Structure 1
Amino acid sequence: MRLRNKPWAKDKLDSHPEIVVRNPEQFKGKWHEVFGNKNPIHIEVGTGKGQFVSGMAELNADINYIGIELFESVIVTALDKALEKDVRNLRLLNENAMDLTKIFDRDEISRVYLNFSDPWPKIRHAKRRLTHSNFLDLYKEILIPEGEIHFKTDNQGLFEYSLQSFSEYGLLLTFVSLDLHKSEFGPNIMTEYEEKFSNKGQRIYRSEVRYLNK
């Protein structure tokens, strides 16, 4: 996907420190202080334009949410959604997912959401997939013992790869749907991609897993 350059994005992000946290490493182990409460913290890795994470924050006031997105030109739209909904339990990080353990302490996060991640279909790019064992190592370190990973995608190949990756890593599969929108699962906050693909009649795949040896 080609991203449209938004030269004004950085200034806009910088103008809202109450939502966009710069230099988040300084808050490692202190994220409850950022939110001012002891509520569970859920993160979305690859938050995109923020429809999911802002919707979840609006729906669940007793949970703190952090959306993480690498591209300024994308996360600035997530900022707009957060401002529109006026959710106080949401923060956004313009950071690389590879830096999760620099940002969060051990056992600091209760849930990780992976929604419509880049499938990186070429075999040589497998290590970039957010369900690769390298990333599972990172999630394991920051998740509490009973923490979970919730994963959604429209890409059957990525879903099959991810289930295999979870299994080989030794994760426990606690939920799986091969056609989420025809299941009884709910409530389901959709991402922008999910709406687009669902409207075309494509299946949405979803799974939930947790670590057995935390």
Structure 2
Amino acid sequence: MRQRNKPWADDFLRENTDLIIPNANEYKNKWKDLFGNDSPIHVEIGTGKGQFIVGMARQYPHINFIGIELSKSVIVTAAQKVQESGLSNIRLIQENAENLLELFMENEVDTIYLNFSDPWPKNRHEKRRLTFRTFLERYEEVLHPSGELIFKTDNRGLFEYSLVSFSEYGLLLKEVSLDLHRDDDPENIMTEYEEKFSAKGQPIYRCKAVFN
């Protein structure tokens, strides 16, 4: 989906470097120093407009959350939500997920969230899917050995593809839900997309996995 240009985005990025971290690679293996505590680090790849990460940070104040989002016009919207929340356990990074290894040290992350990632439905674009094996290699390196990969989508084709990808890579599937809202997980925090699709009756799929 094409995002509307925000002419003020560059100024916002320059004025809020305490929240949207520039030169984030400089904090590799130092994220706990930036947060000023030893709390676990959870990373959302593709943080969108920020509803999920703000909800999670509010629900789990003892966890540090880092949101990665490539789109400048989207990340500034997420940052505004963070500012309005008053929460101090969130930081954002404008970066491509392909550069994950430049941002985090081995075993530095405790949980990775993939929420409503672009399905890239054409076969020739398979390598762009965030559940393709080259991305799984990156996740495995930065995740703590006991860390979780949590994946949510409304796209059944992507979900089925991802389950196969996880299995072939050797991940252990801890949970597979084919209709998350019917299962009624009281701890589930919805993204903006999730609210939209769920309201239309679209089932939401979720998988929790660990590297075996």
TM-score (normalizing by structure 2): 0.99
Q: Deviations over 1:13-54 (max 9, x none)?
A: 221122110001111111000000000000000001010011
What is the aligned partner in structure 1 of residue 200 from structure 2? 200
1:131 is paired with a residue of what secondary structure?
Answer: coil
1:117 is paired with a residue of what secondary structure?
Answer: coil
What is the aligned partner in structure 2 of residue 96 from structure 1? 96
What is the aligned partner in structure 2 of residue 191 from structure 1? 191
- Corresponding residue pairs, total: 212
2:111 is paired with a residue of what secondary structure?
Answer: strand
Structure 1 unaligned regions, length at least 5: none
Q: Shift in Å at residue 184 of structure 1?
A: 3.5
1:42 aligns with 2:42: yes
What is the aligned partner in structure 2 of residue 81 from structure 1? 81
1:211 aligns with 2:211: yes
1:143 aligns with 2:143: yes
What is the aligned partner in structure 2 of residue 114 from structure 1? 114
Q: Deviations over 1:35-89 (max 9, x none)?
A: 0000000000000101001110111110000000000000111001100101100
Partners of 1:120 and 1:84 in 2: how far apart?
33
Q: Deviations over 1:120-172 (max 9, x none)?
A: 00000010000000100000110001011000000000000000000000000
Percent of matched pairs sharing the same residue? 58
1:44 is paired with a residue of what secondary structure?
Answer: strand
After superposition, the CA RMSD in angstroms is: 0.7
Partners of 1:85 and 1:199 in 2: how far apart?
25
1:203 is paired with a residue of what secondary structure?
Answer: coil
What is the aligned partner in structure 1 of residue 17 from structure 2? 17
Partners of 1:164 and 1:125 in 2: how far apart?
17
Q: Report the residue type matching 1:102 in the other structure.
A: E
What is the aligned partner in structure 2 of residue 61 from structure 1? 61
2:120 is paired with a residue of what secondary structure?
Answer: coil
2:119 is paired with a residue of what secondary structure?
Answer: coil
What is the aligned partner in structure 1 of residue 27 from structure 2? 27
Structure 1 ranges of 4+ moved more than 3 A: none
Q: Shift in Å at residue 7 of structure 1?
A: 2.1
**8 Å contact kept, 1:13–1:79:** no
Q: Shift in Å at residue 205 of structure 1?
A: 0.2
Partners of 1:123 and 1:43 in 2: how far apart?
28
Partners of 2:171 and 2:192 in 1: how far apart?
28
Q: Report the residue type matching 1:101 in the other structure.
A: L
**8 Å contact kept, 1:50–1:77:** yes
Q: Shift in Å at residue 186 of structure 1?
A: 2.6
What is the aligned partner in structure 2 of residue 168 from structure 1? 168
TM-score (normalizing by structure 1): 0.98
What is the aligned partner in structure 2 of residue 71 from structure 1? 71
Q: Report the residue type matching 2:167 in the other structure.
A: S
Structure 2 unaligned regions, length at least 5: none
Q: Shift in Å at residue 6 of structure 1?
A: 1.2
Q: Report the residue type matching 1:97 in the other structure.
A: A
Partners of 2:30 and 2:14 in 1: how far apart?
21
Partners of 2:5 and 2:111 in 1: how far apart?
32
Q: Report the residue type matching 2:175 in the other structure.
A: F
